[in-house]
Structure 1
């Protein structure tokens, strides 16, 4: 069997299509309409992931060139995902994506048009959250209902971006640096932190408040204040802004 056949026929490959796959089936319900993008996208993404085809929608498996050995397999699998997406939207949306032939283009187009969130739905969820009462519900059912509302509200929140073109979810300064991050980069950062870090062991400590290494948020002077005797210490009631400005001036000198 050739290498091409091996890869496209393996059940673990995103190119693989089971003989029972139906291109005209609606994989999730309800269908996408102008008010339910967040719940629809989550359900659709989960279903495509279970079918090992999410790479065609999120762009991780881009279009192969026509002379690539797997082009035919890519085209067949992509067309299946395109057909699924076309059958996952309401009739009012169907015509606008019917002539797109790349699954990732359809996914991005739907996200651009409908991911802003249904303001009326958000308002309703906020009202539910403010007015919900336990009443006759037991504690488990009550917190389950609260959690369901919170989760749906959170799905309407955009994923914030950090300054260096990455998301908060993948931010090393917020979530911690990977093991051996600094040693793999030749040791140390750019001399910042308490006493600098060049050539020193960081002990895996990264402050989630200020982003400086070699201490944790529980030990962070910027968050909790500088101790008496420290050069940046100010008596209670002094301006925090003056403290920070003074530190920046010393650092830049």
Structure 2
């Protein structure tokens, strides 16, 4: 497929999936239940963190978690007593368990006591001249694990420093940063430019991208995510992450192989 034809094809697929109907069956539906910035941030971070496996199960487990927060995640995070965290210990989703959840909650309470938005945990490490969010992800990883923490929890927060694709964090950033007139992504954070976003890379996206000739090998790592994002920036320099809708839709929904 020629480059012009490929752009037209992916533009059409992105426009097809980037619609309000997409929300209800996707983990992004969890933060869409809230209106307060901090509620959206917290719900979004957990929804992205738990976003692996069957989407129906992900949404069900995230719903359970929000209920444990009394459907007011920011209020719960800010005002709960540390001893109350033990009530969360029996929560589990795949390899994410109560011990991991307790640390997430501890970190968020510590963070929001001092800072008003989770945005600055990412944007504070980034310059306008940076072409991608690699520094933001690395910086967030350092901040997140600055407190005493269980070693096992590190597997749930990725960093490009280990050549991880950082799929879930890149998805979270897409939700919070990308300006979306269709109302799927929130676009609440303004210190990071949509042009800096990196495609959330997983096995489905990498397989479709390789099949379309956008990357050389179907590998889900940071270097390949950057390679793919650079190709997509050639199609839309201001909003390369919109093509996540196209690649995800082709790979997961249409089973494009």
TM-score of Structure 1 vs Structure 2, range by shorter chain: under 0.3
Determine which structure has the larger helix proportion and give its number. 2
Higher relative contact order (CA 8 A, sep 6+): 2
- Rg: which structure is higher? 1
**Structure 1-normalised TM-score?**
0.24
**Structure 2-normalised TM-score?**
0.24
